[in-house]
Amino acid sequence: MQQTQLKGPTRIPSDPLQRAWIALGRVSQSIREEVSQALRNAKLPDITWYTVLWELERAGQPTRPKDLAIPLFILPYQLSRLVDRMEEEGLVKRIACPEDKRGHLLEPTPEGYAMRKRMWNVYAPAMDDAMKRIGDAEALQLAQLLNKLGGLDYSMPPKP
């Protein structure tokens, strides 16, 4: 039996890029877990519920689920199950999509808005604690670098 030779990558990231990749994964997972644990301790829903509610509120209008999947980094079938559970809890509602008879839009219910605010009261201090090792100037620089890395053009509003 003959073994196939595996080809190596044509390009290898530089050592600094590899270090950044590893740090990004470790730190984002660690911070997310700290916030998630705070929400669990407060007997509140999972952090992904907060993110769905926040994205819907931020949109300011009924939104297609597919438009949420990308910022949430969730596969469409996972989002569908999540929305089913949130709808059962009365936090979101589905609305028929006028452009696509098979599709639907999502919007938070008054209970959904209230839940997001309750969650924020726990989420905010947990995030602050988790990120306390850097100051505001470093946090702004980090946000700009991460947005650049992600190809996102979120301009930061000027300071008042």
Residue 48: which of 81, 72, 78 has the closest Cα?
A: 72
**Under a CB-based contact definition with an 8 Å cutoff, are residues 92 and 56 in contact?**
yes
Predicted confidence (pLDDT) per residue in 6-41, tens digit: 777 788 999 999 999 999 999 999 999 999 999 999
Mean pLDDT within 148-157: 70
Pair of tokens at residue 126: 């947990």
Contact 127, 50 (CB under 8 A): no
Q: What's the pLDDT score for residue 100?
A: 81
User: What are phi and psi for residue 107, nearest 5 degrees?
Assistant: -145, 150
Domains with residue ranges and CATH for the chain: 32-132 (1.10.10.10)
Pick the residue with more confidence: 114 or 156? 114
Give the DSSP letter string of 10-79: S----HHHHHHHHHHHHHHHHHHHHHHHHHHHTT---HHHHHHHHHHHHH-S-B-HHHHHHHHT--HHHH
More confident residue, 17 or 102: 17
User: Buried b vs exposed e over 67-101: b needs ≥16 C-beta within 10 Å?
Assistant: ebbeebebeeeebeebbeebeeeebbbeeeeeeee
Distance CA(58)–CA(35), nearest Å, equals 20
Q: What's the Rg (C-alpha) of the chain? A: 20
pLDDT tens string 126-143:
999 999 999 999 999 999
pTM: 0.80
